[in-house]
Amino acid sequence: MARIIDEGKIQRIRESTIEFVVQNGYGGASISSIATRAGVAEGYLYRFYRSKHELVTKLLYSKIARIIEKLEDLLKTRSTIKEVVNELIGEFFIMAEESPEKIKFIHVLMHDYNFQVSDDQRQQIQDLCKQVVQMGVANGEIGSHITLEEAYGMVVIYPLEFINLRMKGFFGIGTWTSEDQLRVSEFSINALK
């Protein structure tokens, strides 16, 4: 009974945390503003998170986990990395479209000193990159010499940076089309050949 209400509160805390971290950075996201926006008391979130840092860390991990899951799923159900990469990047663009804050959230925190991807997740990412390379090599889609770093760079970092650059309007453009998405995918795959 009470559970339902609670979940809603926790969910609202999560959303409002992302919102403020994205808009004002980690330092600018105060517990007070997060709680107010979420409609809960300041002290409430300490029942679920030991600190502001833990709250944000857990959120970051869950967002990264979703990407990892997506990639895991793609590797199981697709047979070419063209498909895999294309759909993963598609997922990034969908996230950017539907909830730009989430993409920004990942992007900001990946580079924030206070946060690190967990060892666990780093290991998972490494494994997945390995699988991507293996599949690509097996299919003759990419060069046999391609390293994990190169795969990670083109499949994850490059698309995220592209989206972020667009969001910032760095080159004067602030939006994107499905053609942009396709082009990023192709550019990414092509670089690995």
Partner DNA sequence: AATGAATGAGTATTCATTCAT
Partner DNA sequence: GATGAATGAATACTCATTCAT
What is the binding site for DNA (CB under 7 A)?
A: 1-6, 9, 27-33, 39-44, 46-47, 50-53
Which of 144, 147, 146, 138 shows the shortest CA–CA distance to 81? 138
Scanning residues 79 to 118, which ones bind a second copy (CB under 8 A)?
107-108, 110-114, 117
| Alpha helices by DSSP H, the chain | 2-28, 31-38, 52-77, 81-98, 100-110, 119-138, 148-152, 158-168, 178-191
Q: Does 190 help bind a second copy (rule: CB under 8 A)?
A: yes
Q: Is 167 exposed, middle or buried (0-12, 13-18, 19+ CB in 10 A)?
A: middle
Piece of the chain touching a second copy by CB under 8 A; list 6-14, 74-82, 91-99, 152-160 = 152-160
Measured distance CA(92)–CA(166) in Å, rounded: 13
Residue 9 contact partner, candidates a second copy, DNA, none, CB within 5 to 8 A by sort of partner: DNA
Q: Which residues bind a second copy (CB under 8 A)?
A: 2, 22-28, 41, 107-108, 110-114, 117, 122, 126, 148-150, 152-154, 157-158, 161-162, 165-166, 170-172, 187, 190-191
